[in-house]
Structure 1
Amino acid sequence: MRVVSWNIHWGCGKDGRIRIHAVIDVLRKLNPDVICLQEVAGNHPELEGSATASQFKQLAGAFGGYHMIEQAPSEIYKNNLPRQFGNILLSKYRITQAQRHMLPWPADPEHPSGMPRGMIETVLEAPGGKLRVLTTHLEYYSPLQRRAQVRRIRELHREACARARIYQSEPDLDPPFQLGFRPGSAIFCGDFNFAPDAEDYQELVAPVEPDTLRLLDAWRVRHGDMARAPTAGLHGFPWPERPACYDYFFVTEDLAARVNEVNVQSETAVSDHQPIVLDLV
């Protein structure tokens, strides 16, 4: 099972041109089973390069053999037209559940602007059984908001593990209640906007209650203390000032033995972030 996560920067390269077809080409070469994308735009002419097209529709059309879940936490209306910015999850595997979580966005006097953030959660019929795949893009500017979002992710994960322990099928209930099993086993991925030595990172992977599956950094599971490959700051983009890691895969501890490889595709320059790839056996 191969999962790719990538902040595509609305397909805008260093030259300020938008090339969604180049993003699509990179993804096709990687041949993932599940694709998780952040910073997908639709009808945003003011963004660099003028992101006037619906990239949600372009990506859905390019990967017609996949099932798509989209979420645009930032949805602004001008002249009654939605300008969307958010996340996509595309899966070759059957999706049995999907939830679109809005993450906390507390008022921060130090950073009064910003945009709402969200997380897509799916339950997939994957090799080896059902598991959850979740993708998100956390706050960059406000540490207060990002910390609240990390805590909410942990809360949602505790909830999923607790519900998995008590799940029982109740076929007599009305169809909207028939969600089926939602496992604790999960892969979390995306642009978390924190460094590996940050307090937010430490809080996300901190010990949990005995009945909750702990989240592990898949890079550390596979590579131990080996220097982490940067996921941003390459190819001469103005941000960040130097190569750094902001993008991650976190897996529940029961999946650790299945982590076969985690790597960063550093060659492409069609976004200010690099694709990251997780292979499970």
Structure 2
Amino acid sequence: MTDPSGVKPAPGPDQPPIPVRLVTFNTHHGVGDDRRHDLPRLAKVLAAADADVICLQEVDRHFGDRSEDVDQALLLSRALDMQLAWGPAIDEERPGDAPRRQYGNALLSRLPILISDVHPLPGTGEPRSALRTLVELDGGALWVTTTHLTTRSAEERARQVQLLRDLHTDSMETGVVVGDLNAAPDAPELSALRADFSDAWTLAGDRDDQARWRFWQRDEGHTHPARAPHVRIDQVWVTPGIQVVAARVLDGAGASDHLPLVVDLLVPSGV
């Protein structure tokens, strides 16, 4: 990490890497495959993951009837006793003194959040955004960018991915890009990401998913649709130097139409 003077402090001798458990999960605004909005069920799934950092997509804040007009981001952060960073993609006024109607990405963290900013992504149709945060580690720091790319076209996704790459500047040596990318890891539109990041699933020394009896699909990391996952669109991408110890697709307990992905990382210290 670079201090305000532009001088990066030298790491101490033989500092071990820092373990970080990270989850990414498209929550489908808390509505499960039984079509019920059940925020306690979602909170239970997230708590069971025992993560340091949780990156969520499709989160509602006073959005309307589909999520009982509650502030999901705040309620989840309180239920899990974690810090909250918020990145709306939709942000609309409502009449009178009603809270703003919002929808987007959230980051929950056990670790201190030092920086948080939101960046609209280019494209048409449903607005999309990226939530960029800097999380303080014990002896280091980690940039985490959470996003949800468009479903409209590969061309629009390519433009969005280029912006994600541009957000990660040279001074941000250690970081991850996570979320629902709506594309396979080897899709051409993700080429700008592959230039500087690596797919955590392929790097993981230990992998497990929810294939169960489908032995021909073991260890493929499929996360969607939840009842019969057959695509790997929920992903974690890491910069060089970050080790991926394990990657697992968790049982979502019916809390969403996606399944959560958890990765155990070893982040270089002194960065």
Name which of 92, 116, 119 aligns with 1:76.
Answer: 92
Preserved CA contact (<8 Å) 1:265 1:275? yes
Name which of 230, 242, 245 aligns with 1:243.
Answer: 230
The secondary structure found in structure 2 opposite 1:52 is coil
**Mapped partners of 1:128, 1:276: distance in 2:** 26
Q: 1:96 to 1:44 in 2, by over 3 A?
A: closer
**Mapped partners of 2:128, 2:159: distance in 1:** 11
What pairs up with 1:48-197 in 2 under 5 angstroms?
50-64=67-81, 66-80=82-96, 81=98, 82-105=100-123, 107=124, 114-157=125-168, 160-161=169-170, 164=171, 183-197=172-186
The secondary structure found in structure 1 opposite 2:89 is strand
String of CA shifts for 1:140-196, please: whole Å, max 9, x gaps: 123332221011111112xx21xx2xxxxxxxxxxxxxxxxxx32101111111113
Partner of 1:179: none
The secondary structure found in structure 1 opposite 2:127 is coil
Please tell me the residue identity of whatever aligns with 1:122.
T
**Mapped partners of 1:96, 1:189: distance in 2:** 18
Q: 1:234 to 1:94 in 2, by over 3 A?
A: closer
Alpha-carbon offset, residue 67 of structure 1: 1.6
Please tell me the residue identity of whatever aligns with 1:217.
D
Identity %: 33
The secondary structure found in structure 1 opposite 2:142 is strand
Alpha-carbon offset, residue 124 of structure 1: 1.6
Partner of 1:16: 35
Partner of 2:26: 7
**Mapped partners of 2:180, 2:139: distance in 1:** 26
Q: 1:140 to 1:224 in 2, by over 3 A?
A: farther
Alpha-carbon offset, residue 95 of structure 1: 1.8
Calculate the TM-score normalised by the size of structure 2.
Answer: 0.80
String of CA shifts for 1:26-51, please: whole Å, max 9, x gaps: 1111111111111001223354xx44
Aligned residues: 235
**Mapped partners of 1:88, 1:148: distance in 2:** 22
Alpha-carbon offset, residue 221 of structure 1: 1.0
CA RMSD of aligned residues (A): 2.1
Matched, 1:204 2:193: yes
String of CA shifts for 1:85-136, please: whole Å, max 9, x gaps: 111111111222222122223x5xxxxxx22211111112214511211111
Alpha-carbon offset, residue 78 of structure 1: 3.8
**Mapped partners of 1:37, 1:189: distance in 2:** 9
**Mapped partners of 1:224, 1:43: distance in 2:** 39
**Mapped partners of 2:204, 2:157: distance in 1:** 26
Name which of 256, 262, 268 aligns with 2:247.
Answer: 262
Alpha-carbon offset, residue 224 of structure 1: 9.9
The secondary structure found in structure 1 opposite 2:159 is helix
Please tell me the residue identity of whatever aligns with 2:259.
Q
Preserved CA contact (<8 Å) 1:262 1:279? yes
**Mapped partners of 1:141, 1:152: distance in 2:** 17
Calculate the TM-score normalised by the size of structure 1.
Answer: 0.77
Deviates more, 1:195-204 or 1:259-268: 195-204
Alpha-carbon offset, residue 215 of structure 1: 0.4
Matched, 1:276 2:261: yes
**Mapped partners of 1:69, 1:77: distance in 2:** 20
